Amino acid sequence: MVGLRRKYSRSGLIPLVITSLFLIYIPPSANAATSTIHGTTGDNPRHITIDSSGNIYTANFDSNNVSKITPAGVSTTLGTTGTRPWGITIDSSGNIYTANTISRNVSKITPDGVSTILGTTGTLPIGITIDSSGNIYTANYDSNNVSKITPQGVSTTLGTTGNGPYGITIDLSGNIYTANNSSNNVSKITPQGVSTILGSTGTGPIGITIDSSGNIYTANQGSNNVSKITPAGVSSILGTTGAGPVKITLDSSGNIYTANLHSNNVSKITPAGVSSILGTTGDSPHGITIDSSGNIYTTNAGDNNVSKITVFDQAAANAEAARVAAANAEAARKAKEQKELMEILALIPSIGELTLSLGETTQSLYSTKCVKGKTTKYVKYGAKCPKGYVKKK
């Protein structure tokens, strides 16, 4: 804020405004984050997804339905699913798909809440993803393979995986990758169905994601860390996490985030491998996703709700800092002008007379006092006193 202090000339007749600068911007820490409960869900929410408008959707394992939570935190049940939905994804039209573990199929729910069974899967489908053509893929934990379901509902087995495929993701070329929980590795399946082992992971990989360069990352529940596997199959440990990381996501800058089931928090790992705890969650976070502003959301299976972790917005901070700097510069300019005016006025002798009358303003401005005995006269500044008068200060 800018404080104003009013000061007057020596005669008390000319108001002068002097500005004092109080604009100070103190940016928050780059790791600053605030955790809140964003909204409620059905029973035992597992995985989570988000649409382009910021609406959150959760697959509710025990209530066999999908919850929708608006950006304002308003919760509703969008539609029903098959038995024991686990994984969840969304297409470009806003249709929701769930991998139903016990009924071995995939549900489709339209934005209007109309629910249907899209197609069948292998045994115990957990992870689910979608390609740009609308084909659905599921990681089938018990049958060690991946199912493909076309938009028309035609189901086939795309290819085999390692043991216990859990999470699933896809690259821009349509290659499928699965995190194999029991064999501690990642499978790659081409669109033609050719299966290979891309690389090894830490212990018990569950969640999986991919960056724009094709690097694969897995959340390793058994070893509390994240593995990175390059497109060439080179494996390394990127960084550590909280206890029991189960799901994973990343932001546009390449930072990795994990939902830590046993420590009820979210870890952040930078591309350089620096690990920190971003924020806390509700009880037993299972799923994780991120919005366009970098806010993190987790499904909390133990509390039947979703946590939102609001992160520090560097772009907004930079804009605010620029605004404050501009305001300070303008205030400093005005203060300089006021100071210069005061210096000029300090050189002018006191105002001798200022007469104001209602309806008519008469102003006589004198600044030199001339005295002759008991008689006083004023003359304009610079003029000589009348003959016989002496100038007095």
Name the 3-class secondary structure at 336.
Answer: helix
Contact 156/166 with Cβ under 8 angstroms?
no
Prediction pTM value: 0.75
pLDDT at residue number 86: 98
Mean pLDDT by 10 residues, the chain (393 residues): 39 40 51 87 98 97 98 98 98 98 98 98 98 98 98 98 98 97 98 98 98 97 98 98 98 97 98 97 98 96 97 68 80 81 65 40 55 83 84 77
Q: How far is CA 356 from CA 274, 326, 362, 368, 369, in A?
A: 74, 41, 6, 20, 21
What does the pLDDT read at residue 15?
A: 41
For Cα atoms 279, 271, 201, give the angle at the middle one, nearest 5 degrees: 90
Tell me how far CA of residue 145 lies from CA of 98, 164, 178, 180, in angstroms: 17, 9, 9, 10
Q: Which residue in 208, 207, 200, 106 sits closest to 149, CA to CA?
A: 106
> Residue 70 contacts by C-beta under 8 Å, 6 or more apart in sequence?
39, 54, 55
Q: Give the pLDDT confidence of 270-311 residue by residue, as tens digits.
A: 999 999 999 999 999 999 999 999 999 999 999 999 999 997
Nearest to 119 by CA among 93, 86, 144, 156: 156
Pick the closest to residue 356 from 364, 348, 346 (CA basis). Answer: 364
What's residue 382's pLDDT?
74
Contact 27, 58 (CB under 8 A): no
pLDDT at 327: 81
Q: Using alpha carbons only, give the angle 149, 221, 80 rounded to the nearest 5 degrees.
A: 40
Helix H or strand E segment including 245:
strand 245-250
The pLDDT of residue 314 is 61
CA–CA distance, 195 with 176 (Å, rounded to integer) = 9
| Residues in Cβ contact with 286 at an 8 Å cutoff, skipping those fewer than 6 apart | 45, 46, 47, 246, 247, 259, 261, 298, 299, 300, 301
Tell me if 109 sits within 8 A of 96, measured CB to CB: yes
Burial call 171-207: b when 16+ CB within 10 Å, e when fewer:
beeebbbbbbbebbbbbbbeeeeebeebbbbbebbbb
Residue 231, class by beta-carbon neighbours within 10 Å (0-12 exposed, 13-18 middle, 19+ buried)? middle
Find out whether 205 and 180 touch, Cβ atoms under 8 Å: yes
Q: What is the pLDDT of residue 323?
A: 81
- The two tokens of residue 26 are 């103190």
Rg (CA), the chain: 36
| Side-chain-side CA neighbours of residue 374 (13 Å) | 0
Please choose, from the candidates 184, 187, 116, the residue with its C-alpha nearest in 3D space to the C-alpha of residue 146: 187
